[in-house]
Amino acid sequence: MANIFTSSIGKKLIMSITGAFLVLFLTFHMLMNGALVFSDEAYDAIVNFLGANWYALIGTVILAAGVVIHFIYAIILTLQNRRARGKIRYAEAKREPNVEWTSKNMFVLGLVVICGLLLHLYNFWYNMQWTEIMGEHTNSLGMGPKDGAVMVRDLFSHLGYVIVYLVWLVGIWFHLTHGVWSMLHTVGWNSKVWMKRLRCISYILATLIVGGFALTVIIIYIQGLM
Amino acid sequence: MTKIESHIPQGPITDKWSKHKAEIKVVSPANKRKLDIIVVGTGLGGASAAATLGELGYNVKIFCISDSPRRAHSIAAQGGINAAKNYQNDNDSVFRLFYDTVKGGDYRAREANVYRLAEVSNNIIDQCVAQGVPFARDYGGLLANRSFGGAQVSRTFYARGQTGQQLLLGAYAALNRQIAKGSVKSYPRHEMLNLVMVDGKARGIIARNLVTGEIERYGAHAVVIATGGYGNVFFLSTNAMNSNGSAAWQCYKKGAMFANPCFTQIHPTCIPVHGDQQSKLTLMSESLRNDGRIWVPKKKEDVEKLRAKLKKASEIPEEDRDYYLERRYPAFGNLVPRDVASRAAKERCDAGFGVNETGLAVFLDFKTAIERLGKNVIKDRYGNLFQMYEKITDVNPYEEPMMIYPAVHYTMGGIWVDYNLMTTIPGLYAIGEANFSDHGANRLGASALMQGLADGYFVLPYTIGDYLSHEIQTPKIKTDTPEFDAAEKEVRDRIAKLFSINGKQTVDELHKKLGHIMWENVGMARSKESLEKAIVEIRKVREEFWKDVKVPGKNEEFNQELEKALRLADFLEEGELMARDGLQRNESCGGHFRIEYQTPDGEAQRDDENFAFVAIWEYQGEGKEPVMHKEPLTFEAIKVAQRNYKD
Amino acid sequence: MNFKLKIWRQPDAKSKGRFETYEVTDISADTSFLEMLDILNNKLIHEGKDPVAFDHDCREGICGMCSLHINGEAHGPDTEITTCQLHMRKFHDGDTITIEPWRSAAFPVIKDLVVERSAFDKILQAGGFISVNTGGVPDGNTIPISHDDAEESMDAAACIGCGACVATCKNGSAMLFVAARVSSLAKLPQGKVETLRRANAMISKMDELGFGNCTNTRACEAECPKAISISHIARLNRKFLISRFKN
């Protein structure tokens, strides 16, 4: 059991488990964001609920660990794979039919996701939970850490941020379209019949999650204009 | 002169093998560990023998010229493997399989060996199933069968059109298991170039490491040759490009006698030759004749139009088609044995009915079967073969009939062995296609796989024990002896000589010349004149070879031209022996068709009175004529008769 | 037809390789790709040059000996075939054709276009078999096997061990090769018994030999001359994980 994670498939199992966990997190996050579209109070209640409480802190640590492990193993696997490929590359390489660009560029997409994540953490987490943890009453924006709705509406009143966030979301969408079916495949939940279905499910899920996020951003921007 | 003793056990044919097994000696497990065996070749025979010997506890070394044992040409066998299981309840039996095989071989095989082959055929199927060979199954989960040429029962087991591949992967898996255990040591990319004899016994080989060019020595208490046939003498054949007769030929030159070299099988269903740049012919499985019907047009004007591509085969109406096999052989129809089908195709083409530009092709048509069974059933049965055909010819066989023509496929002749599969050199064994024993003058379809595995799994592992039981006192064979020195020197000299010629012709060019002589004169139809001519011409090419061949590079490297040159040097001698053997056999039988000896309706005319024997050739030295010995063939269990596939 | 050939030349494993350009003329469209290389080699020999080394044997797409990365694709353009089944009619007159050896750390070059694939043998030696000795086995019909299971087993067993999957995979992974063997035996009752042990042993060996990790790109499946599906990889993953969890 212990040596499961030393094998190639074991390492990918880690990618699958952390990946699945992150997909789950994204789903909840997206649903919570959605609250803002309907009611600022409801959103702030959620922000309050996920402040510097013990359960929210534990959740944050686990979540962070998930991201970090997913990222570290991605690096380990990518380095191993580059080594396995050998020193000399093909002078000419054609893209095989039916092979998606995404599947071969998960690491690059992952980097896009991470960059967006850093910005996102600075924009919100640093000004919300972190401020609370530090015991401050005002954050770098001069607002209270629990004024979530105000903060969000402020940020997405800038078109530049809207565009940056949408680009980031597109990156996440691509990452998910391959990631979702791939993680199921890695743990062995796939077959000839299910292959098509799983890939279809991947697209639906990725679109629902990313679409939810994107809609929220756009609606907030439009609401800000009105 | 060496005495030729076949060691066939006494008694009724049904008891010979059991009686023999009971009488021969066995080696104790403790002694097996002390004994070394070299197996050269890793096809069905070699792999199954090496695996089984390893399981028994011997120390085995295997050699193959490819990068992995799995590449051996057994892998290309398509149609299936025969066994007398009688699963179809069509009154099959060991005796019927035995009878069909002897009859199919035109009564030129050794009866006792064939009976044993039929006897162990059932064990082979069980063994392969246990190894995980995915044979075709019926919906009830039981093993499926198909029919093959020369039989009126359905006894052929198959795994799509890749039976040889699956059986070889089974044997190769068993071999891998032994390699992992350490009882077998594998030497891929090694080619045996000489046999080492010590005190009249086979004691080792000299092999060239094909990657580095090193000449290496390996000693053993016994040597098994499982290197297949010599069909590539013809240059164009269905054999793999690297298939060769050299290991067997080196044994011949060391004293192992060679039997029936002229018996060559010409397979009727191959894709026709397209031009002079062709390197190899592709077989279309005999199983296709289950559902395919062979025909040529009845009218010459249709032939002309076909050749000029003014008409498609599918446009020729039923009444203008000559299904000549069904016409000539009503009882067996399209499923006559290979030699008969090949000759009939040649007869039609010689009469001017060949259907392609070269005039050397007939149709194999699935129209009737597709109409009867539907395209999907045909696709299930032969899908991969149809795909293969389309890739090569660019013609869709679901719409237009395939074009086929006979091509060299298998050599029934080979190193002479006794009932124990031992050659005339003590301690040297030959199994599978490399020996001569079971197929007489013509091999039936789906019997080669059967023989390779029978020899390797169930015969050799017993009989070799009898010989080795006398060797338990012999210590490990040392390779730093004068015998090994001399054998290695022979190899080095031969290689040095090849490089020193530095002539103007490439190995391929000379090989094509040899192939052309062989096909024209020692091919499907032979005559005294053609064979005599062949002997003269082969000698000329051989002289040319040793004066004018160009072998680039050096020995101490990966050098494919050198490999080919060494093999061709041997083919140039084997070809002559084939012609010589054909010349002495003044009769027609099986694949050996002498135009002087045919019945009024053009069938092979055997001469049982004068030629019911195995022709065994003994090497006499460089430049000397070989001497022929005879092993008389007696048939106790069956009545010898004219082969009849008409009614 | 005339072609310009850009071929990787490398005298031996240790030397550095480079591309050389050659020309071949008057090639018939019905010539196979390897026959075209034969023609080139005969020409080179006459010119006193070293012929191009390439692996080949059966030339009917079953032995798995031929390799070659042609114009950026394992076994060249056209699908579900090996290089030996590729014909020049798939190219256009005057084309420049780039020919490279399989490139993967586990398949070092021996010479020119010839690579060392013994790593595959080693993986199979680790567990790609059913542990039965010759003799003493039950009648072939004792265990019924459903038609569909036998067919699925055969689909996987069609693997010819050519290495196109490894050559194509951007990670140099041998998962399709390993999966084909594990899956083929796992679908049969007689092979099922050892499935977990087999999956574990073969994957461990594969990792040890320096093959990469599968990232489910499906490139192997697209280039496999026998069109072996990556669904077998899912089965392998499942069996492997169960085997490790049980330990």
3-state secondary structure B524-561: CCECHHHHHHHHHHHHHHHHHHHHHECCCCCCCCCCHH
Tokens of B127: 């063994």
Domain of B342 in residue numbering reads as 267-408
Report how far residue B404's alpha carbon sits from residue B360's, in angstroms, rounded to the nearest whole number.
8
**Residue B140, pLDDT above cutoff 50:** yes
Residues near C175 by Cβ (< 8 Å), separated by ≥ 6? Answer: C165, C169, C206, C211, C214, C220, C233, C236
Residues near B341 by Cβ (< 8 Å), separated by ≥ 6? Answer: B149, B268, B269, B289, B294, B325, B334, B406
Q: Which residues in chain A are closer than 8 Å to C98, comparing Cβ atoms?
A: 91-92
Q: Answer yes or no: CATH 3.10.20.30 is held by domain C3-111.
A: yes
Residue with tokens 């030729």: B4
Q: Measure in Å the smallest separation between the Cα of B388 and chain C Cα atoms.
A: 8
Report how far residue B513's alpha carbon sits from residue B520's, in angstroms, rounded to the nearest whole number.
11
Contact C216 A103 (CB under 8 A): yes
Residue where a domain terminates, one of B379, B408, B437: B408
B252 falls within a domain = no
123-142 of C, contacting A, C-beta below 8 A: none
Report how far residue B459's alpha carbon sits from residue B121's, in angstroms, rounded to the nearest whole number.
11
Specify burial of residue A150 (Cβ count, 10 A radius: 0-12, 13-18, 19+): middle
CB C117 within 8 A of CB C107: yes
**Residue A198, pLDDT above cutoff 60:** yes
Report how far residue B374's alpha carbon sits from residue C82's, in angstroms, rounded to the nearest whole number.
29
Report how far residue B584's alpha carbon sits from residue B531's, in angstroms, rounded to the nearest whole number.
10
Q: For chain B, how many residues are written? A: 647
Specify burial of residue C138 (Cβ count, 10 A radius: 0-12, 13-18, 19+): exposed
Which residues of chain C are in CATH 1.10.1060.10 domains? 117-246
Residue where a domain terminates, one of B408, B427, B455: B408
Read off the pTM.
0.96
List the beta strands (DSSP E) in B47-119: 59-63, 81-82
Report how far residue B378's alpha carbon sits from residue B402's, in angstroms, rounded to the nearest whole number.
14
CB A188 within 8 A of CB A9: no
Q: Are residues B391 and B506 in the same domain?
A: no
Residue B594, beta-bridge partner list: B526
Q: Which residues in chain C are closer than 8 Å to B275, comparing Cβ atoms?
A: 28, 30-31
> Distance of CA B274 to CAs B280, B296, C108, Å?
10, 19, 36
Kindly state the average pLDDT of the residues B334-340.
91
> Distance of CA B614 to CAs B6, B436, B626, Å?
11, 9, 15
Q: Are residues B397 and B276 in the same domain?
A: yes
Question: Please, which pLDDT band fits residue A8 given cuts at 50, 70 and 90?
Answer: very high
* Nearest CA among C224, C219, C8, C225 for reference residue C97: C8
Interface confidence (ipTM) of the complex: 0.97
Report how far residue A122's alpha carbon sits from residue A108's, in angstroms, rounded to the nearest whole number.
22
**Residue A3, pLDDT above cutoff 80:** no
Q: Which residues in chain B are closer than 8 Å to C41, comparing Cβ atoms?
A: 506
For the segment B485-513, what is each residue's pLDDT rounded down to a tens digit?
Answer: 999 999 999 999 999 999 999 999 999 99
Tokens of A18: 């952390």
At B150 the pLDDT is 85
34-53 of C, contacting B, C-beta below 8 A: 34-35, 38-39, 41-42, 45-46, 48-51, 53
Q: Could you tell me which CATH number the domain at A2-225 has?
A: 1.20.1300.10
Chain C residue with CA closest to B175: the answer is C125
Residues near C4 by Cβ (< 8 Å), separated by ≥ 6? Answer: C21, C22, C23, C94, C95, C96, C97
At B276 the pLDDT is 82
Q: Quote the percentage of chain B above a pLDDT of 70.
A: 100
Report how far residue B285's alpha carbon sits from residue B270's, in angstroms, rounded to the nearest whole number.
8
Report how far residue C161's alpha carbon sits from residue B316's, in angstroms, rounded to the nearest whole number.
43
B359 falls within a domain = yes
For the segment A210-223, what is each residue's pLDDT rounded down to a tens digit?
Answer: 999 999 999 999 99
B267 to chain C, any CB pair closer than 8 A? The answer is no
**Residue B342, pLDDT above cutoff 70:** yes
Contact C105 A83 (CB under 8 A): yes
Question: Is chain B in touch with chain A: ≥3 Cβ pairs within 8 A?
Answer: no
Contact C244 A7 (CB under 8 A): yes
Q: Select the residue from A13, A90, A183 to test the C interface by mutation, using most C Cβ atoms within 10 A.
A: A90
Which residues of chain C are in CATH 3.10.20.30 domains? 3-111
Q: Is B338 a catalytic residue?
A: yes
Chain C residue with CA closest to B73: the answer is C58
Q: Are residues B278 and B388 in the same domain?
A: yes
Categorise residue B376: left if φ over 0, alpha if ψ from -120 to 50, beta otherwise. Answer: alpha
At A174 the pLDDT is 97
* Nearest CA among B506, B591, B67, B522 for reference residue B279: B506
CB B261 within 8 A of CB B584: no
At B2 the pLDDT is 55
Nearest to C234 among A84, A87, A191 (CB): A191
Residue B261 three-state SS: coil
Report how far residue B85's alpha carbon sits from residue B92's, in angstroms, rounded to the nearest whole number.
7
Percent helix / strand / coil, chain A, rounded to 5: 80, 0, 20
Tokens of B335: 């499923």
The CATH H-level superfamily of C117-246 is Alpha-helical ferredoxin (1.10.1060.10)
Element (H, E) at C98: strand C96-100
- Chain A interface residues facing chain C, Cβ-Cβ under 8 Å? 1, 3-4, 7-13, 77, 80-81, 83-94, 96-100, 103-104, 106, 178, 181-182, 185-192, 195
B631 falls within a domain = no
Residue where a domain terminates, one of B408, B433, B464: B408
For the segment C69-122, what is each residue's pLDDT rounded down to a tens digit?
Answer: 999 999 999 999 999 999 999 999 999 999 999 999 999 999 999 999 999 999
Chain C residue with CA closest to A83: the answer is C105
Contact B134 C154 (CB under 8 A): yes
B117 falls within a domain = no
Contact B279 C63 (CB under 8 A): no
Q: Select the residue from C204, C218, C224, C247 to test the A interface by mutation, using most A Cβ atoms within 10 A.
A: C218
Report how far residue C20's alpha carbon sits from residue C44's, in angstroms, rounded to the nearest whole number.
12
B491 falls within a domain = yes
At B1 the pLDDT is 45
At A139 the pLDDT is 85
Residue B187, beta-bridge partner list: B63
In whole numbers, what is the pLDDT of chain B averaged over residues?
95
Chain B residue with CA closest to C119: the answer is B68
The total number of structural domains that make up chain B: 2
> Distance of CA A87 to CAs A84, C72, C170, Å?
9, 17, 12
At B261 the pLDDT is 98
Chain C residue with CA closest to A194: the answer is C231
Nearest to C245 among A1, A104, A178 (CB): A1
Chains that touch B (3 or more CB pairs under 8 A): C
> Distance of CA C3 to CAs B392, B483, C87, C101, Å?
20, 52, 13, 19
Kindly state the average pLDDT of the residues C48-60.
97
Report how far residue B194's alpha carbon sits from residue A13's, in angstroms, rounded to the nearest whole number.
53
Domain with residue B337: its CATH number is 3.90.700.10
Element (H, E) at B184: strand B184-187
Tell me the three-class secondary structure of B382-421, residue by residue.
HHHHHHHHHHHHCCCCCCCCEEEEEEEEEECCEECCCCCC
At B148 the pLDDT is 86
For the segment C120-177, what is each residue's pLDDT rounded down to a tens digit?
Answer: 999 999 999 999 999 999 999 999 999 999 999 999 999 999 999 999 999 999 999 9
Question: Please, which pLDDT band fits residue B436 given cuts at 50, 70 and 90?
Answer: very high
> Distance of CA A144 to CAs A32, A119, A125, A154, Å?
20, 20, 13, 13
Chain A residue with CA closest to C240: the answer is A9
Report how far residue A150's alpha carbon sits from residue A157's, in angstroms, rounded to the nearest whole number.
11
For B71-101, b/e burial (b = at least 16 CB within 10 A) is bbbbbbbbbbbbbbbbbeeeebebbbbbbbb
Contact C240 A9 (CB under 8 A): yes
Residue C22, beta-bridge partner list: C5
CB C239 within 8 A of CB C194: no
For the segment A100-131, what is each residue's pLDDT rounded down to a tens digit?
Answer: 899 999 999 999 999 999 999 999 899 888 88
The size of the B-C interface in CB pairs under 8 A is 220
Report how far residue B595's alpha carbon sits from residue B533's, in angstroms, rounded to the nearest whole number.
15
At C32 the pLDDT is 95
CB B263 within 8 A of CB B592: yes
Element (H, E) at B123: helix B111-131
For the segment B250-271, what is each residue's pLDDT rounded down to a tens digit?
Answer: 999 999 999 999 999 999 999 9
177-216 of C, contacting A, C-beta below 8 A: 203-204, 206-207, 210-216
Contact C65 B66 (CB under 8 A): yes
Contact A191 C100 (CB under 8 A): no
* Nearest CA among C173, C195, C166, C172 for reference residue C183: C195
Kindly state the average pLDDT of the residues A150-171.
95
B240 to chain C, any CB pair closer than 8 A? The answer is yes
At B425 the pLDDT is 98
Other CB atoms within a 10 A radius of the CB of residue A158 amount to 12
Q: Comparing B69-73, B129-133, B145-149, B625-629, which segment has the lowest mean pLDDT? A: B145-149
Q: Measure in Å the smallest separation between the Cα of C144 and chain B Cα atoms.
A: 4
204-233 of C, contacting B, C-beta below 8 A: none
C97 to chain A, any CB pair closer than 8 A? The answer is no
Element (H, E) at C9: strand C3-9
B640 falls within a domain = no
Domain with residue B538: its CATH number is 1.20.58.100
Report how far residue C191's alpha carbon sits from residue C201's, in angstroms, rounded to the nearest whole number.
15
Q: How large is the C-alpha radius of gyration of chain C?
A: 20
